[in-house]
Structure 1
């Protein structure tokens, strides 16, 4: 699967603590090799939109939009922020 990232994703990424940035890079390597690798917990998080998340660590997630053979990552942050993002996405729909 092809991965791309938006400028917003990179802004979120740069705001992450350095150790989490390193973990995000590790998660990306796993995702590139096998999106369904168990520790990534790659899953759909919206019932009608193709919004998916991947686990960076127990406390951090990345979120993207899945197309036929490509995912465009648009956000990364803490699990608390992730919960708020999902509520916002569900309410906007």
Structure 2
């Protein structure tokens, strides 16, 4: 995911930290993993979200950014 590579270091750390509990249990309360149309949303921090596309039982993380950017994406859908 290109967005993660260019994200600030603190966002990268938070994303990796949130990924661990998600791997063990996608329904972990801190991750807030939920469907948004054909995308899935996950909480990275209070200010950041990540989006994934489901392909069978696999998820492809396609975007990470601020909550404001996330809201703009959802409004365009």
TM-score where L is the length of structure 2 = 0.91
Q: Structure 1 regions of 5+ residues with no counterpart?
A: 1-8
Give 3-state SS (helix, strand or coil) of 1:57's partner.
Answer: coil
Structure 2: distance between partners of 1:85 and 1:25: 23
Provide the residue aligned with 1:27 in structure 2: 18
Moved over 2 A (4+): none
Following superposition, the deviation at residue 67 of structure 1 comes to 2.5
Alignment of 1:8-87 (within 5 A): 9=1, 11-46=2-37, 50-87=38-75
Give 3-state SS (helix, strand or coil) of 2:21's partner.
Answer: helix
Q: Relative contact order (C-alpha < 8 Å, sep 6+): which is higher?
A: 1
Structure 1: distance between partners of 2:8 and 2:21: 20
RMSD: 1.0
Counting matched residue pairs gives: 77
Rg comparison, structure with higher value: 1
